Amino acid sequence: MNDKPPSIQEWKDLYEAAIQFKKMKCWDWMWDTDIFGVQNPVNGEIGYCCVMGGAGEHYALAVYQGSEGLYGYLSLQLGIKPTIQDILSLQKLLMASFENRDLLQKEDIRLTKKIDLKFSGPDSWPLFRSYLPGYHPWYLTGEEARYLTLCLWQAIDVSLRFKDDPKKLTPPMGNRYFVRVPKKDKTGLSWRDVWMEPLPLQKAEIIVEPVDAIRLEKIKRRIPDRQGVWEVDYFYYPSPIRDKEERPYYPYITLWVDQHSGFILSHNLAKPAECMSEFQINFFKLAEKRKILPREILVKKEETLKLLEPIASELGINLRRVKKLKMLEEAQASMRNFTAGD
Per-residue pLDDT for the chain (342 aa), expressed as one digit of tens each?
Answer: 568 999 999 999 999 999 999 999 999 999 999 999 999 999 999 999 999 999 888 999 999 999 999 999 998 888 656 677 777 888 999 999 999 999 999 999 999 999 999 999 999 999 999 999 989 999 999 999 999 999 999 999 999 999 999 999 999 988 999 999 999 888 889 999 999 999 998 877 777 778 899 999 999 999 998 999 999 999 998 889 988 878 899 999 999 999 999 999 999 998 877 888 888 899 999 999 999 999 999 999 999 999 999 999 999 999 999 999 999 999 988 887 766 555
Note the pLDDT of residue 205.
Answer: 73
Is residue 203 a part of any domain in this protein? no
**223 and 267 belong to one structural domain:** yes
What percent of the chain is helix, strand and coil (3-state, nearest 5)? 40, 25, 35
Which CATH number belongs to the domain containing residue 318 in this structure?
Answer: 3.30.420.10
Domain of residue 176 covers 8-196
Give Dmax over CA atoms of the chain in angstroms. Answer: 76
At which of 196, 228, 257 does a domain end? 196
**81 and 191 belong to one structural domain:** yes
**112 and 255 belong to one structural domain:** no
d(CA 311, CA 211): 7
d(CA 305, CA 310): 9
Note the pLDDT of residue 276.
Answer: 81
pLDDT in tens, 200-211: 988 777 777 788
Is residue 19 a part of any domain in this protein? yes
Is residue 204 a part of any domain in this protein? no
Note the pLDDT of residue 237.
Answer: 87
**41 and 102 belong to one structural domain:** yes
The order of strands in the sheet holding 93-99 is 125-131, 93-99, 59-65, 46-52, 36-39, 177-185, 188-196
Residue type, position 254, single letter:
T
Alpha-carbon dihedral 178, 183, 189, 191, rounded to 10 degrees = -30
**145 and 101 belong to one structural domain:** yes
**236 and 176 belong to one structural domain:** no
**129 and 155 belong to one structural domain:** yes
At which of 167, 196, 225 does a domain end? 196
At which of 139, 162, 196 does a domain end? 196
Is residue 293 a part of any domain in this protein? yes
Note the pLDDT of residue 185.
Answer: 84
Is residue 21 a part of any domain in this protein? yes
pTM beyond cutoff 0.75: yes
108, 99 Cβ separation under 8 angstroms: no
**144 and 234 belong to one structural domain:** no
Note the pLDDT of residue 210.
Answer: 85
**164 and 217 belong to one structural domain:** no
Is residue 91 a part of any domain in this protein? yes
Note the pLDDT of residue 342.
Answer: 54
| Number of domains the chain is built from | 2
**329 and 258 belong to one structural domain:** yes
Q: Kind and range of the H or E element at 104?
A: none
Q: What is the DSSP letter of 175?
A: T
**284 and 331 belong to one structural domain:** yes
3-class secondary structure per residue, 270-317: ECHHHHHHHHHHHHHHHHHHHCCCCCEEEECCHHHHHHHHHHHHHHCC
Is residue 201 a part of any domain in this protein? no
Is residue 2 a part of any domain in this protein? no
**164 and 23 belong to one structural domain:** yes
Note the pLDDT of residue 75.
Answer: 87
